[in-house]
Structures are given as C-alpha cells and as structure tokens.
Amino acid sequence: MSDDAVLHVTGRVLAGPREDQVHDELWVVGGRIAYERPAGARDVRTVRGWALPGLVDAHCHVGLDAHGPVPEDVAEKQALTDREAGTLLIRDAGSPSDTRWIDDRDDLPKIIRAGRHIARTRRYIRNYAWEIEPEDLVAYVAQEARCGDGWVKLVGDWIDRGLGDLSACWPREAAEAAIAEAHRLGARVTAHCFAEDSLRDLVEAGIDCVEHATGLTEDLIPLFAERGVAIVPTLVNIATFPSLAAGGEEKFPRWSAHMRRLHERRYDTVRAAWDAGVPVYVGTDAGGSLPHGLVAAEVAELVKAGIPPLDALSATAWAAREWLGRPGLEEGAPADLVVYEEDPRADVRVLAGPRRVVVNGRVVG
C-alpha cells in the first residue's frame, strides 16, 4: 500500500453499545479514525464485518511467567498472543519486568502499567513483588506510582503459613496512608484479594479496584457499590482454585477448604456484585501460570456468571476503555480495532475468532 493508502472498514462499526452508536463504515487515515471518506484517496483497502474497539484485558502480566520476569523475546510473544486474540489495550496489573520498549512498537498492544506488585514479606509468589513491611508501604507506593502509568498494585491478602489460611497483609492505617499517597500523586490503587477479611479495610481506606474479589459477601457488596470500587474477577484464573487446593491439602487443609468455598460461589459472587451496581471489568490474569490470549474465554465466563452479554462485552470494550481513560472508535482516535464475521453482541463466543486485527491503522492479523 502506498503512503496515501487508507483502510475502509465497512459493515457495522460498533462505536458503543447503543444502536445510535453504530455506524456503517469508518476510514483509517494516517493511523487515525475518520468517519468521512478522505479526499483524494487512491489506494483503499476494504475490510468488511463487525468492528469493535480493540479489546481490553484489565488484568494481564506481560513480561512475567510463573517464575518471575522473562526475557524480551518471551514478553514479545506474550504481547503478540494477546494481539492475535484481539486484545489491544492491557492494564498490566504488576510486573517486575521493564516493558517500556513495547511503547516504541506500533504493532503491539498498548500497555497501562501498575509498576511492580507490593507485597508483605514472604507473603506472595517468589520473584514477583517488592516484599516489605507496613512501615515502608507509603514509600514503595509512591515509588511505583511514579514508575507506573496511573496505577499501583498491592497484594491485599495471601496465605499466612502460621495461620494456615489466607489473611490480610496490611493494617488499616498503613493501607489508608499508602492509598492517600498514591492519590496525591495521581495514581489509582488496586489490590489482589482472594479472601474476605482484607476487603472492608481496603475499601474504606479508599482503594479504587480489587482484583479477583472472590471474598465479596452480602454485607460488603453494598459498600463496594456505594464507593464505586470496581472488580476484575479473573474467572479463568479462579477456575484453577480446585487444583491449587488439592496441591496444598496435606500441608494447609484450612486454606484448601477456603479456596474451594471461594471457587464454589464464584459465579454467585460476581452476579451479586453486578446486580448491586459494582463496576465489573474483564481481566484474565495471563502471564503468571495462565497463558495469554484468554480474553474471549473471560467474557464468556462473565456471561456464565449471569452478566448480560452486551454488558459483558462492554466490560472488555466500551466501558473498559472509558474506565481506563483510553479512546475507542472515536473520530481522530488511534485506529485500534478488531473485525469479526458475525455480531459479537448477539453471541460473545464470536470474540474467539477475530477476522482482522488493526493496530495503529495497520492490519496485523
């Protein structure tokens, strides 16, 4: 294609969930979206189908595997796998790898980083986090707020080997001071939380989001809704709880039983949160023990939990991009979009098979 080539996307352009936000076509000129045909366009490539803004994985770890940071070539493969699945915007929810080099690649997904995980000493996965004590939490949150892209990631709970079960990692006062510091620096805060007992303190301390949130209970859900605290359930990750519980049964039977209970009620938990008005977004937790490219599977899990299909779709498309402060299929926005052969609003399983993937106006898949 020549320098003045344009991309013409025709069929149905889903710029939003409402019917009045659907267009018949869009044009890509200089890597940007336009809704009027550019004058003098000579070299036009046409793609037909149902177009969505590039999908969002709001809990994904590029540059990380089960053992810690990975080399750049492995991180590149992870990002490419997400791209092939239609994920073009990632909130990297904690990584010890420096992935800033990805920002210089116009063929890879865009990443919003939360810096490196911040955990209590010996209370998280080895080689993942800064492991510190409460008196240092404010300083480390400030450090990661400056390193990240507007987010900081705490480990809110983990197994306490002395108790033999999950327990909260941070005293209320330390969490409150740290979250206030992050907000002062313009960053939002999220936290890994499996269990129940860390949630009230974190929400009342002003946290913005909770990852997994399997410990949500009837008395806590209204608090989340009132404060507007979002959850990213990562149901494709929660599906691994029974195997994790089996592996720890002999040494930590109390923890194993707890993990099974959290798993058994996972769909009810997510549906109850949604029904109460808690914002829910799509995240896969790829890059730890899970492979990349699972965004379609996570949307399907949200539907299985009882979230209406259009809302589950929005949780990886329009609403997710608005929450993260990134544009969708708007006039003048970077042309990051995915085209499908069928309408994903009618059946979210369509997301598993993108027809075309466009990054910064280039057809890359």
CATH topology of domain 6-52+328-363: Urease, subunit C; domain 1 (2.30.40)
Give the pTM: 0.97
Chain centroid to CA 207:
16
Give me the pLDDT at residue 209, please. Answer: 98
Furthest-apart CA pair in the chain: how many Å? 72
pLDDT of the residue at 42: 75
| Residue 15: alpha-carbon gap to chain centroid | 20
| Nearest residue to 334 (alpha-carbon basis) of 99, 103, 94 | 103
User: How many of the other CB atoms lie within 10 Å of CB of 236?
Assistant: 21
* Alpha helices, H only, the chain: 72-84, 137-147, 172-184, 199-204, 221-227, 235-238, 241-248, 253-264, 266-275, 295-304, 309-314, 318-324
Specify the domain boundaries for CATH 3.20.20.140 within the chain.
Answer: 55-324
Say if CB 335 and CB 363 are below 8 A apart. Answer: no
- SS3 category, 160: strand
CATH number for the segment(s) 55-324? 3.20.20.140
**Sign of the CA dihedral running 206, 209, 211, 212:** positive
Do the beta carbons of residue 179 and residue 140 sit within 8 Å?
A: no
The number of beta carbons lying within 10 Å of the beta carbon of residue 46 is 11
Give CA–CA dist 255/365, Å, rounded: 44
CATH 2.30.40.10 domain position(s) in the chain:
6-52+328-363
> Would you list the DSSP string of 251-289?
T-HHHHHHHHHHHHTHHHHHHHHHHTT--B-----BTTT
Please tell me the predicted confidence (pLDDT) of residue 4. Answer: 58
Extract the residue ranges of the chain whose pLDDT is less than 70: 1-4
Other residues' Cβ atoms within 10 Å of the Cβ of residue 138: 18
pLDDT digits (tens, 9 = 90+) for 65-121: 999 999 999 999 999 999 999 999 999 999 999 999 999 999 999 999 999 999 999
Q: Could you tell me the end-to-end alpha-carbon distance of the chain, in angstroms, rounded to an integer?
A: 16
